[in-house]
Amino acid sequence: MPASPRAEAAARARRFWPWLLLAPGLLWLLGLYLLPLLGLVPLSLSEPLSRFGLETVFRGRLATYLEVLQAYGPILWRSFGYAASATAIGLLLAYPLAFAIRFRGGRWQPLLIGLVVLPSLTSYLVRAIAWTSLLGDNGPVLALLQSLDLTAAFNGLGLLRDGRLLNTPTAVILGLLTNQLPFLVLPLVLAMERIQPCLLEAAADLHAGAWRRFTQVVWPLSRPGLAAGILLGLIPAAGDVVNPLFLGGPNERMVANTIDNLLLVQLQAPRAAALTLVLMALVTLAVLVQLRGRGLDGLPLP
Amino acid sequence: MNRIGNVLLAASSALTFALLYAPVAVTVLFSFNAPRGRFNLLWQGFTLANWRHPLGDPALTEAFLTSLALALAAALLAVLLGGLMALSLARARLRGRRVIGLLVALPLTNPEIVLATALLNLFVGIDLPRGPLTLLLSHSLFCLSYAALTLKARLAGFDPSLEQAAQDLGAPPLEAFARVTLPLLAPGLLAAGLLSFSLSFDDFVISSFMAGETVTLPLYLAGAFQREISPQVQVLTTLVLLVSAALLLLATLSGMPTLRKAVDLPRRDPFGRP
């Protein structure tokens, strides 16, 4: 039976409206994200026109990548080293807290989650400034270490440098760590909330002790929260500018500081683009390893 | 779990909260400091003077208001664009929706500096001077992904038959949307808006590439770190903290019963006594 013209028009409208709703957002994502991102590729293969501007000319020059890797390879490794250390220590702290909130929080659970989020609602620059007060040469942390006679021991462990805390990797990692803690805790709490209580009751009925209930029920089911936390914590940390600038010295600069400097101070746009693309490739690799073929859909993102 | 486990759990949780709140506590404390010199970084003595003039640093106040306006505009734009995308992705069976979903999520996997470099190259290329417009464009872009994903997740949780029921009762599609879906979606819209607002308000990396002559609060703070940190920095931060805490408490208290039902929390502790 041939469809009436009205039904046909209605069907066309049904096919049409979803694209109409998508159009403005897609325009944003294509024009302000995908296009500029792809634009970095030709830029990274170009050469600066002069030493005084950002204008470049395309030369198909691959050697920039080699130069960038040679010159900034150590800074790249340092960035991922700092970010990974911060995330690893952060997860050691976040997992027990998430567990406590989920299984011990009771009716205070929403309030506890709020308390985890609250510090990140203050500016992270102000928090970094506060850390410089805490970790400074006349600050309370060093005073405490001195009164406990631990300065020499911490020096020996490499946590302090010449009895100072500021301008050391320790300070930068501490800053990165406290910034990402809420983003490690929240996905873990969400993942643990998805664990049905009946699973734990069933395990208990089968005489599983607390430890086995943890290793065989809670841990495997909270793994997606771990993956989401690593994504939300590691990526911003690896690309951070503020903590190395405020809490570290010249020897603790991270890759984003270098890109910043190349673009805005040295006006070496091709090198900055090449380094940015290398950073992006490494981060994408880390994401793919974390997701292992599963999509983002299953992750408990807050 | 045994007693040692409980003590370890409590101790580790306390340490984590201490790390989270140490810089916040210092900031609140230093809003009552009477600094000598230009940097309010060393404790000298208690005073209430800073609180008598919370807006006593005009450059800081101006940067604060600029950030407020920018974050508001960026959040509105992101929620509008992201909400429309979420509606389409959650309701329509589009060809290529997986690709579009990936495109929406992809910006979240990039460090900010990647976006900053890419956008600076674009705006230099098309000769668009950096300023309020480029700030708004870039901020609304990185908020868009968060807003779209949050709202898409909310919409996926809804029962579409509610809207269909309204239509079966004679409501035109737009009215069914306005009177059924929109009220249900309102908390999600608010949540996405608040998240976008705080992301934009606190952004430093992208802003430092996009601002031109405009000074947002994080840009002012980065400059102040080299130049002069007035106690008003800590006063204003404490005020923002108080407002955030009040909003959070309100949301928590009003949301408590529904949240409990939503996540189906156990009545008894599965790790406690059997």
Q: Which is it for strands A56-58 and A46-48: parallel, antiparallel or unpaired?
A: antiparallel
Domain contains B154: yes
CB atoms within 10 A of CB A198: 11
Name the residue in chain A with its Cα closest to that of B262: A193
Please state, in angstroms and as integers, the Cα–Cα distance from residue A72 to each residue in A179, A255, B56, following that order: 25, 8, 43
Residue A44 has pLDDT above 90, yes or no: yes
DSSP letter (8 states) at residue A56: E
Tell me the backbone φ, ψ of residue A114, rounded to 5 degrees: -60, -40
Contacts of A210 in chain B (CB under 8 A): 1-2, 5, 271
The verdict on B256 touching A (C-beta cutoff 8 Å) is yes
Domain ranges, residue B196 = 58-228
**Mean pLDDT, rounded, for A269-283:** 94
Distance CA A106, CA A100 (A): 10
Q: In the prediction, which pLDDT does B80 show?
A: 96
Contacts of A263 in chain B (CB under 8 A): 117, 120, 209
Q: In the prediction, which pLDDT does B129 show?
A: 93
Q: Which of A178, A235, A260 sits opposite B23 (nearest CB)?
A: A178
Interface list for B 109-138 with A (CB within 8 A): 109-115, 117-122, 124-125, 137-138
Q: Do B144 and A25 touch (CB under 8 A)?
A: yes
Domain contains B268: no
Q: In the prediction, which pLDDT does A131 show?
A: 96
Alpha helices by DSSP H, listed for B111-267, are 112-125, 132-156, 161-168, 173-176, 182-201, 205-210, 217-227, 231-263
For the stretch B165-180, pLDDT in tens is 888 888 887 888 888 8
Predicted-complex ipTM score: 0.87
Q: In the prediction, which pLDDT does B23 show?
A: 96
Domain contains B251: no
List the single best residue of A125, A242, A254, A268 to mutate versus B (max B Cβ within 10 A): A125
Q: Give which of A76, A301, A77 is closest to A186, Cα–Cα.
A: A301
Distance CA B254, CA B145 (A): 27
Domains in chain A: boundaries: 73-291
Q: Do A110 and B259 touch (CB under 8 A)?
A: yes
Distance CA B222, CA B211 (A): 13
Contacts of A43 in chain B (CB under 8 A): 121
Tell me how close the Cα of B270 comes to any Cα of chain A, in angstroms.
6
Please state, in angstroms and as integers, the Cα–Cα distance from residue B49 to each residue in B63, B239, B266, following that order: 22, 15, 50
Domain contains B82: yes
Q: Which of B101, B115, B121 sits opposite A43 (nearest CB)?
A: B121
DSSP letter (8 states) at residue A161: B
* Residues near A164 by beta carbon (within 8 Å), at least 6 away in sequence: A137, A142
Q: In the prediction, which pLDDT does B260 show?
A: 40
Q: In the prediction, which pLDDT does A6 show?
A: 78
Contacts of A167 in chain B (CB under 8 A): none
Q: In the prediction, which pLDDT does A241 show?
A: 93
Distance CA A266, CA A48 (A): 11
Distance CA B83, CA B187 (A): 13
* Conformation bin of residue B34: beta by default, left when phi > 0, alpha when psi is -120 to 50: beta
Tell me how close the Cα of B266 comes to any Cα of chain A, in angstroms.
6
Distance CA A300, CA A177 (A): 21
Q: Two tokens at B57?
A: 């640093």
Residue pairs spanning A and B at CB distance below 8 A: 274
Q: Which of A21, A32, A197 sits opposite B85 (nearest CB)?
A: A21
Q: What is the DSSP string of A16-70?
A: HHHHHHHHHHHHHHIIIIIHHHHHHHHHHTEEES-SSSS-EEE---THHHHHHHH
Q: Do A114 and B237 touch (CB under 8 A)?
A: no
Query: Does A50 or B55 have the greater pLDDT score?
Result: B55
Q: Do A32 and B229 touch (CB under 8 A)?
A: no
Distance CA B27, CA B232 (A): 11
Contacts of B245 in chain A (CB under 8 A): 118
For the stretch A164-182, pLDDT in tens is 999 999 999 999 999 999 9
pLDDT band for position A127 (50/70/90)?
A: very high
Domain contains B223: yes
Contacts of A96 in chain B (CB under 8 A): 8-9, 12-13, 16
Please state, in angstroms and as integers, the Cα–Cα distance from residue A19 to each residue in A143, A184, A285, B87, following that order: 62, 36, 32, 11
Q: Two tokens at B67?
A: 């950030």
CB atoms within 10 A of CB B237: 25
Tell me the backbone φ, ψ of residue B44, rounded to 5 degrees: -115, -45
Name the residue in chain A with its Cα closest to that of B140: A28
Query: Does A50 or A298 have the greater pLDDT score?
Result: A50
Residue B266 has pLDDT above 70, yes or no: no
Residue A156 has pLDDT above 60, yes or no: yes
Q: Two tokens at A191?
A: 């993942």
Which of the given ranges, A183-197, B148-162, B197-211, has the highest pLDDT on average?
A: B197-211
Q: Two tokens at B256?
A: 């408590």
Name the residue in chain B with its Cα closest to that of A228: B109
Q: Is B270 helix (H, G, I), strand (E, B) or coil?
A: coil
Tell me the backbone φ, ψ of residue A57, rounded to 5 degrees: -130, 135
* Conformation bin of residue A237: beta by default, left when phi > 0, alpha when psi is -120 to 50: alpha
Q: In the prediction, which pLDDT does A177 show?
A: 96
Q: Do B85 and A25 touch (CB under 8 A)?
A: yes
Distance CA B161, CA A247 (A): 54
Q: Which of B105, B137, B222 sits opposite A32 (nearest CB)?
A: B137
Q: Burial level of B170, CB count in 10 A (0-12/13-18/19+)?
A: exposed
DSSP letter (8 states) at residue B179: I
Please state, in angstroms and as integers, the Cα–Cα distance from residue B242 to each residue in A62, B41, B239, following that order: 53, 21, 5
List the single best residue of A14, A30, A33 to mutate versus B (max B Cβ within 10 A): A33
**Mean pLDDT, rounded, for B58-79:** 96
Q: What share of chain A is helix, strand, coil (3-state, %, to 5)?
A: 75, 5, 20
Q: What is the mean pLDDT of chain A?
A: 89
In chain B, pLDDT over 90 holds for what percent of residues?
51
List the single best residue of B2, B9, B15, B20 to mutate versus A (max A Cβ within 10 A): B20
Q: Two tokens at A142?
A: 């060093």
Q: Give residue for tokens 């208990």.
A: A204
What pTM does this model have?
A: 0.87
The verdict on B45 touching A (C-beta cutoff 8 Å) is no
Q: Two tokens at A27?
A: 């325009």
Here the CATH number for the domain that contains residue B175 is 1.10.3720.10
Residue B125 has pLDDT above 50, yes or no: yes
CATH 3.30.390.50 for domain A73-291: no
Name the residue in chain A with its Cα closest to that of B29: A130
How many folded domains does chain B comprise?
A: 1
Contact present, B81 and A24 (Cβ < 8 Å): yes
Interface list for B 146-175 with A (CB within 8 A): 148-149, 153
Q: Which of A97, A241, A269 sits opposite B204 (nearest CB)?
A: A241
Q: What is the DSSP string of B44-87?
A: --B-SHHHH-TT--HHHHHHHHHHHHHHHHHHHHHHHHHHHHHH
Q: Do A28 and B140 touch (CB under 8 A)?
A: yes
The verdict on B59 touching A (C-beta cutoff 8 Å) is no
Interface list for B 173-192 with A (CB within 8 A): none
Domain contains B122: yes
